[in-house]
């Protein structure tokens, strides 16, 4: 039985310009990323670290897929990153919040950072550096979305869900002023909604 719901295209909020990746498309991609990650980390002590808040849905889907693909011993942790500046533009000034846990918690571990989206590269460059400084054995990054064309600093993720052009994205954890995180698909916001003022 198919129920009426906001998953249906005719029900997307009016602020949305376009659904870029449906729930099914994201799920398929998550499964193949998980397969690659399991292949690379089998036999290793893996800790998957989600970057709050934006990565929370992708993190949940990906870690469950990792367990399902054969690595049920995977551990999880979170870190928070905030970039100061205008709402839709990342600055180079990124603060890292360890969520109350000791800095040494990743010492000797294989850390996989899970991010929602990479834009300028500032956040991940800073975070990957902070994790390495904790004495991690290895640091890799998986991102659901990658706006490769917008880098201000050189940074490449090890696993990329989807490479996308320059849209302002909401859904699957990504917000506009804290709304639309819970949309179960990846969507582009109408430029007139965010003011189209991205750098």
**Chain contacts with ligand 5GP (rule: CB under 6 A):** 54, 83, 90, 115-123, 168-170, 174-175
> Is residue 181 classed exposed, middle or buried when 0-12, 13-18 and 19+ CB atoms within 10 A define those classes?
middle
Determine whether 146 is an active site residue: no
Q: Is the preceding peptide bond at 53 cis, omega within 30 degrees of 0? A: yes
Q: Among 18-26, 32-40, 115-123, 163-171, which window interacts with Mg ion (CB under 5 A)? A: 115-123
Cα R_g (the chain), whole angstroms: 17
DSSP class of residue 197 equals -
- The interface with Mg ion within residues 3-42 (CB under 5 A) comprises none
Question: Which of the residues 15, 24, 77, 119 is marked catalytic?
Answer: 119
Q: Is 119 in the site for Mg ion (CB under 5 A)?
A: no
Least separation, in Å, of the C-beta of 151 and ligand 5GP? 8
Q: How far is the CB of 3 from ligand 5GP (least distance, A)?
A: 28
- The Cα-based distances of 161 to 84, 164, 177 in angstroms read 26, 10, 24
- What residues are labeled active site? 119
């Amino acid at each position: 039985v198919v129920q009426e719901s906001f998953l249906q295209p005719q029900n997307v909020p009016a602020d949305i310009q376009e659904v870029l990746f449906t729930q099914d498309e994201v799920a398929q991609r998550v499964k193949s990323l998980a397969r690659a990650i399991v292949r690379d980390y089998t036999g290793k002590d893996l800790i998957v670290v989600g970057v709050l808040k934006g990565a929370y849905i992708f993190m949940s889907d990906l870690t469950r897929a990792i367990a399902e693909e054969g690595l049920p011993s995977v551990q999880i942790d979170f870190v928070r990153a905030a970039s100061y500046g205008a709402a839709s533009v990342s600055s180079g000034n990124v603060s890292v919040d360890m969520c109350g846990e000791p800095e040494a918690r990743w010492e000797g571990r294989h850390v996989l950072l899970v991010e929602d989206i990479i834009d300028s590269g500032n956040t991940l460059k800073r975070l990957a550096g902070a994790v390495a400084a904790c004495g991690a054995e290895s640091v890799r990054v998986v991102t659901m979305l990658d706006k490769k064309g917008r880098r201000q600093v050189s940074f490449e993720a090890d696993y990329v869900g989807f490479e996308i052009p320059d849209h302002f994205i909401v859904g699957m954890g990504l917000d506009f002023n804290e709304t639309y995180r819970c949309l179960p698909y990846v969507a582009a916001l109408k430029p007139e909604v965010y003011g189209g003022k991205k750098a």
